[in-house]
A and B are shown apart, each in its own frame.
Chain A
């Protein structure tokens, strides 16, 4: 995985966002939580992404943007997002397959899918935290919230940039 402190490689992928694509640099100035996951429609009702969806108000307190990325096609993403009522974009790392996952060091060549991995990117576009989860273990959200806390609240950030 990419080490903390390095620039997060920019990417632009087709996505479930209204404009049809999502680019990382759109969110410069805000923390971004990037969630790589193996595939849409895991066979449990409250899976990882559903949990994060439920936690969007918490992420919003940090002004953070959540993005989900897997190698599924946009059509699969749209169906999955509708089924789980997801209110954040899912990005299709579909063509060339897994290119962004590879850039971030979280692509499983054998299986042809993304690992279950988390990145928190700070307001300046640098990696501030990352976590690689065993594929069949849902990592929960406690690590993400701690990483966002470490970046400070929006008000704190403004105060520190003024000083």
Chain B
């Protein structure tokens, strides 16, 4: 974990859940409410980290969406954009992203310039390659306290795995 990561939850939480995800991937869209639910259930026992893993060859809008989240992040609104993207997976074209920036009350000119210049492409690529090197094999890939979670990730299964990790650590 590093300070460059986008995180939710306390830094000293006993369990860290890392998701490598793609905003245009339908399975990541399915995981989104599940992750929110387990965050709610786990409370301060969980820290959540999201890293980008856009599969651009099959998801043409995934890279732009990831850069949009970073561009919003540069204005302090990463998670707001993250939520917007997962809640609007069928409208991730460039004009949709600009609209989102307006809805989130971002500095739209700056946002558009960041996207046009692919200012955050290197950052997204860094996330992607860090995932490849840690054994990410598709999206979403979840890591619980550093170990790849190859099991099911429906709410009950994921919660059980997180609670087990919390127990082991405690």
List the interface of chain A (C-beta within 8 A of B): 44-48, 50-51, 53-55, 58, 84-85, 87, 137-142, 145
Contacts and interface: CB of A to CB of B under 8 A. Distances in A.
Contacts of A138: 137-138
Contact of B133 (A47, A50, A142): A142
A51 B133 contact: no
A85 B139 CA distance: 17
Contacts of A58: 129, 132
A140 B58 contact: no
Interface of B: 22, 25-27, 55-58, 129, 132-139, 150
A51 B55 contact: yes
Given A45-B58, A58-B129, A139-B137, 7 more contacts: A46-B25, A47-B138, A48-B137, A58-B132, A85-B57, A87-B57, A141-B137
Contact of B57 (A84, A139, A140, A142): A84
Residue in B129, B136, B138 with the greatest tally of chain A CB atoms within 10 Å: B138
Contacts of B27: 44-46
Contacts of A45: 25-27, 55, 58, 138-139
A140 B132 contact: yes
A145 B132 contact: yes
A122 B41 CA distance: 50
Contacts, number: 56
A46 B139 contact: yes
Given A44-B27, A46-B25, A55 B57 contact: no
30 contacts: A45-B26, A45-B27, A45-B138, A45-B139, A46-B22, A46-B139, A47-B138, A48-B138, A50-B55, A51-B55, A51-B132, A51-B137, A51-B138, A53-B57, A54-B55, A54-B56, A55-B132, A84-B58, A85-B57, A87-B57, A137-B150, A138-B137, A140-B132, A140-B135, A140-B136, A141-B132, A141-B137, A142-B132, A142-B133, A142-B134
B101 to A, nearest CB: 27
A44 B57 contact: no
B137 A140 contact: yes
A87 B58 CA distance: 12
A85 B57 CA distance: 7
A155 B71 CA distance: 37
A58 B132 CA distance: 11
A25 B60 CA distance: 35
Given A44-B27, A137-B150, A85 B58 contact: yes
10 nearest A-B pairs in the assembled complex, by CB-CB distance: A138-B137, A140-B137, A46-B138, A140-B135, A46-B139, A46-B55, A85-B57, A142-B135, A141-B132, A53-B57
Contacts of B26: 45
A116 B57 CA distance: 22
